[in-house]
Structure 1
């Protein structure tokens, strides 16, 4: 379970919704409906903490294009859009959890020379972890379709990576380092 511990003397923050590009409204609406159907969020009418929604491009892959000078340059491909909550104000007054994350190069070194390995990606990993009911109000966000609070951990909370890594290591403690390496919701399974 994820808890949001605040620094002593932290002041609440209610930020207004930012203007969204009209083309992004349908993307936000679909995501809100998906989160509601998945019991990830719930409507809330009054919260001392409100953070705004924004939509950012999902980038995957690289292609080469020519710039205005005719030079070939690499650029990332946009494959879709991601609805995010801007928790910067909340994060600025949240006590930081310094649980260590593994170094990806060390994970890859461990896989080097193994005869068999595969990579698994957890589906909506963060959304599988509940937020402490006493802290759900702090994860409130606003969008053109209302104000909602998260029941489950979203991307954007500063301590979410630490909570998730700790949770995964707890679940897979008997396999971690022996036949599996864990980096957040990415699992590397290996064998001889």
Structure 2
């Protein structure tokens, strides 16, 4: 497709970072956050909201999903635009002839093109899809499909139980530290579920000074009731891209957890979905900053459909990550190779990152400490995968 072409000089030049993909091939990524993205005006083409898509699918009985690849590279750039998307490599300067990954206006541009392509087709909805079909990721003629936290079938839509599975499967605390993490979640969400404070008495008793740790049926009953309250639909917000999106991620010695929420005008937050997993044997040997960074990458990839193409706020309780993931001057050269690869994954997302004190980070801390055991990908796959499902 003649994606790139050499040039002798340019007013713009972005650095590159090479990422090894799971199939062993290298992907060259450009760090456009170093200048071009900051200079570009926002392209506020309206991305579809769930209600619009569900309305389009309403009345259907058989559904198909098509997952595509290399979408942006199908879009040829004008000569003026080509001058701006230049990368600086060890072999000289190269300009993109087609829309590259990492340009902040790319999602809106591509959505506009997709909408034009399917205009007039009844029962067809698009959301940031690609052009070349990956058959292994497609589903055809299914009685139901899953999209943005919902299951859609001939009867309409209903919440996807996977949104609360991580809460329902949390294991009971084994010590005071894990109990404090769980109660931190209760405190964080108590605004929406005032009755939670009436259920936590048996658990609070174990935090009293000189109290011997003894997990009895009283504590187990209180724990199960609180999990049920946490996973209630009353405590979950339906995804609305018009509201502010917040993603919080945390890590401990043996697990990572994350939650995506909406932040409302009064400053309150309500969760949309949760996710967590245990660390592999190799990941448990990571430094703490690497574990925290892995948690962030896991969160962004897990919630890709919610956050890609939209501005969101990323929260962490590990302050050093602000310099690595929040620096708009590009990926720091002093970053370890693993951190650099993860920072490259985040180049395609539009976010601000903020530090939150651990004592006020209950929404993610509890998930990382009390998650069930999960089967996870090989470490090289996890750190090198740039594409998202």
TM-score by length of 2: 0.31
Partner of 1:181: 125
Native 8 Å contact 2:68 2:130 kept in 1: yes
Is contact 1:102-1:183 (8 Å) kept? yes
Work out whether residues 57 and 124 of structure 2, in 8 Å CA contact, stay in contact via their aligned partners in 1: no
State whether structure 2 residue 114 is matched by structure 1 residue 151. no
- The offset of 1:125, in angstroms, is 1.1
Q: Which residue of 2 aligns with 1:138?
A: 84
1:124 Cα deviation (Å)? 1.3
CA distance in 1: counterparts of 2:54 and 2:101, whole angstroms: 25
CA shift in 2, pair 1:106/1:82, >3 Å? farther
The 8 Å contact of residues 69 and 130 in structure 2, kept in 1 or not, is answered as no
CA shift for structure 1 position 112: 7.4
Root mean square deviation, CA, Å: 3.1
1:87 to 2:32 alignment: yes
CA shift, 1:184, in A, is: 1.2
Whether contact under 8 Å (2:72, 2:130) holds in the other structure is no
Q: 2:117 matched to which residue of 1? A: 171
Distance 1:112 1:54, change over 3 A: farther
Choose the corresponding residue for 2:70, options 105, 115, 124.
124
State the shift of 1:93 in Å.
Answer: 0.8
Deviation, 1:143, is: 1.9
Distance 1:128 1:171, change over 3 A: same
Matched residues in 2 for 1:180 and 1:126: separation? 20
Are 2:71 and 2:130, in contact at CA under 8 Å, matched by a contact in 1? no
Partner of 2:208: none
Larger Rg computed on CA atoms? 2
Q: How many residues get paired?
A: 134
Matched residue, 2:338: none
TM-score (norm 1): 0.59
Structure 1 unpaired stretches of 5+: 1-37, 59-77
Q: Distance in 2 between matches of 1:154 and 1:142?
A: 14
Pairing of 1:1-192 with structure 2 (within 5 A): 38-56=1-19, 82-88=27-33, 89-103=35-49, 107=53, 111=57, 114-175=60-121, 178-185=122-129
Report if the CA contact (8 A) 1:101-1:162 is conserved.
Answer: yes
| Cα deviation, residue 189, structure 1 | 8.2
Shift of 1:105: 7.5
Higher helix share: 2
Query: Aligned with 1:135: secondary structure?
Result: helix
Gaps of 5+ in 2: 132-138, 144-153, 155-389
In structure 2, what is the equivalent of residue 16 of structure 1? none
Choose between structure 1 and 2: higher strand proportion: 1
Q: Residues 143-177 of structure 1, C-alpha deviation per residue, up to 9 Å, x if partnerless?
A: 223211011101111111111000110111112xx
Q: Shift of the alpha carbon at 1:185?
A: 1.3
Q: Which region of structure 1 is more displaced relative to structure 2, 182-191 or 151-160?
A: 182-191
Structure-2 separation of matches of 1:96 and 1:162: 9
Q: Report the CA distance shift for 1:111/1:55 in structure 2 as closer, same or farther (over 3 A).
A: farther
